[in-house]
């Protein structure tokens, strides 16, 4: 077993990034096999429970009010409509249901419905994950009491680059919510986006921030930017095609995440729709062991179940069984 360290230096992480590619992928696969079942991929279903109209100005996101992306704003879905979607996901074999809302933060008046959704999805036997923006300590406790398994809150990029991508909040705000989620006893899901026109030093800083948290996130999503027309970064990429992330550099980022955070699930998240099967295969060799299934992410297209089933069969990969819940679900404990 490799040691789990939270004292990584930027220099060590930069050295990993600079290894010959074969050596880096070999090290990542070795670490992977010491901590995870080889050849098993966690399949997660994603649903946007509240789309668009978000007051934040994240330069990559189609759901910001600042973006001219054509995404229509909706209200929070009805509890029953969400549970219906969750039941369909459970029927099709999904064991993890991730729900996203285009909010800066949930309002207190939204919380009763959110709590009912968590309880309802959990009662179907699926793991639950939510991403709702920043949380107050009380909201984090309410989610924990409802039995939420994971909370997704990405740091997205390096601390240095953060305010070039988002101006309506700071990296500190992000880290504060992550600390609240941890304190409340919910598993942490945190990662970011590669391909924002960042430098390798930014990718080093991004991984360093995650790998030196007091405890590593249980889940680390690595998204490749989905360039959306009408967003600052989507338009920038359309004008400067060379800014698109190199596939090998993307795989390197996955490998370095795997080596520095050996126990975490590393999710190959957004961007698979435009990625070749060969690049995805390299990501799995480099230690990615989770994907989103289905033909839609939150607003953007995803690879789709048929394509994914064919890819997994071609690569000889199998769906991972649900993890044992990492902590007891408070909502399902008998009342004292
Ligand atoms: N509003 C909440 C928040 O930002 O925390 C939750 C939803 S937000 C859409 C979840 C994550 O999706 C973002 O942190 C970002 O990493 C990712 N994301 C959003 N748009 C993306 C895009 N165009 N390409 C890749 N990843 C994207
Ligand atoms: C994450 O890191 N990636 C997912 C999930 N967390 C919520 C979202 C990806 C969104 C991709 C762009 C879209 O669908 O609008
Ligand atoms: Fe809002 Fe989240 Fe999109 Fe940022 S990433 S604009 S916070 S929905």
pLDDT in tens, 295-316: 899 999 998 888 999 999 999 9
Output the six-digit token pair for 4. Answer: 């789990």
Q: Is the pLDDT of residue 330 over 70?
A: no
State residue 325's pLDDT score. 40
Is ligand 3 within 6 A of the CB of residue 102? Answer: yes
Instruction: Quickly tell me which residue has 């405890």 as its tokens.
Output: 215
Confidence at residue 215, expressed as pLDDT on a 0 to 100 scale: 97
Which pLDDT belongs to residue 157?
Answer: 97
HEC sequence for 55-123: CCCCCCCCCECCCCCCCCCCCCCCHHHHHHHHHHHHHCCCCEEEEEECCCCCCHHHHHHHHHHHHHHHH
pLDDT of residue 244: 77
Mean model confidence pLDDT for the chain: 93
Q: Which residue has the higher pLDDT, 184 or 236?
A: 184
Q: Which of 44, 122, 129, 203 is catalytic?
A: 129
Residue 130 phi/psi, 5-degree rounding, is: -130, 150
Q: pLDDT band for 11, please (50, 70, 90 cuts).
A: very high
pLDDT at 4 over 50: yes
CB-CB contact of 153 with 110 (8 Å): no
267 assigned to active site? yes
Enumerate the β-bridge partners of residue 193: 223
Percent of the chain with pLDDT over 70: 95
Please give the pLDDT value at position 245. 87
Determine the average pLDDT of the residues in 137-150: 98
Active site residue 329: no
Residue 195 Cα to ligand 2 midpoint, Å, equals 14
How does residue 70 score in pLDDT terms, banded at 50, 70 and 90? very high
283 among known catalytic residues: no
pLDDT at residue number 242 = 63
Ligand 2 close to Cβ of residue 223 (< 6 A): yes
Catalytic annotation present for 44: no
Average pLDDT over residues 69-97: 93
Higher pLDDT, 289 or 243: 289
Binning pLDDT at 50, 70 and 90, where does residue 322 land?
A: low
Average pLDDT for residues 239-260, to the nearest whole number? 90
Ligand 3 centroid–CA 117 distance in Å is: 21
- What's the pLDDT at 95? 83
Q: How many whole angstroms from 61 Cα to the centroid of ligand 3? A: 6
């Amino acid at each position: 077993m490799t040691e789990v360290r939270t004292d990584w230096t930027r220099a060590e992480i930069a050295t990993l990034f600079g290894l010959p590619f074969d050596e880096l992928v070999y090290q990542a696969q070795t670490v992977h096999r010491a901590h995870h079942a080889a050849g098993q991929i966690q399949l997660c279903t994603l649903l946007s429970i509240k789309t668009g109209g978000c007051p934040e100005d994240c330069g990559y996101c189609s759901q910001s009010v600042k973006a001219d992306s054509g995404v229509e704003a909706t209200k929070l879905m009805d509890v029953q409509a969400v549970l219906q979607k969750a039941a369909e996901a459970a029927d099709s074999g999904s064991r993890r249901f991730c729900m996203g809302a285009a909010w800066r933060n949930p309002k207190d008046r939204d919380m009763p419905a959110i709590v009912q959704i968590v309880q309802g999805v959990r009662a179907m036997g699926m793991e639950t994950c939510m991403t709702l923006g920043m949380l107050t300590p009380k909201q984090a406790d309410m989610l924990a009491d409802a039995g939420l398994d994971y909370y997704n809150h990405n740091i997205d990029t390096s601390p240095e680059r953060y305010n070039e991508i988002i101006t309506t909040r700071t990296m500190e705000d992000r880290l504060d919510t992550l600390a609240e989620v941890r304190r409340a006893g919910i598993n942490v899901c945190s990662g970011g986006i590669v391909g924002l026109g960042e430098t390798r030093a930014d990718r080093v800083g991004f991984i360093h921030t995650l790998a030196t948290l007091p405890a590593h996130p249980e889940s680390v999503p690595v998204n490749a930017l989905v360039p959306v027309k009408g967003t600052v970064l989507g338009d920038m990429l359309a004008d400067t095609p060379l800014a698109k992330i190199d596939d090998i550099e993307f795989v390197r980022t996955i490998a370095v995440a795997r080596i520095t955070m050996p126990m975490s699930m590393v999710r190959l998240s957004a961007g698979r729709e435009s990625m070749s099967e060969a690049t995805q295969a390299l990501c799995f060799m480099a230690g990615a062991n989770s994907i989103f299934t289905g033909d839609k992410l939150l607003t953007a297209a995803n690879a789709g179940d048929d394509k994914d089933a064919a890819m997994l069969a071609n690569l000889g990969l199998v769906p991972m069984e649900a993890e044992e819940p990492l902590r007891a679900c408070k909502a399902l404990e008998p009342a004292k």
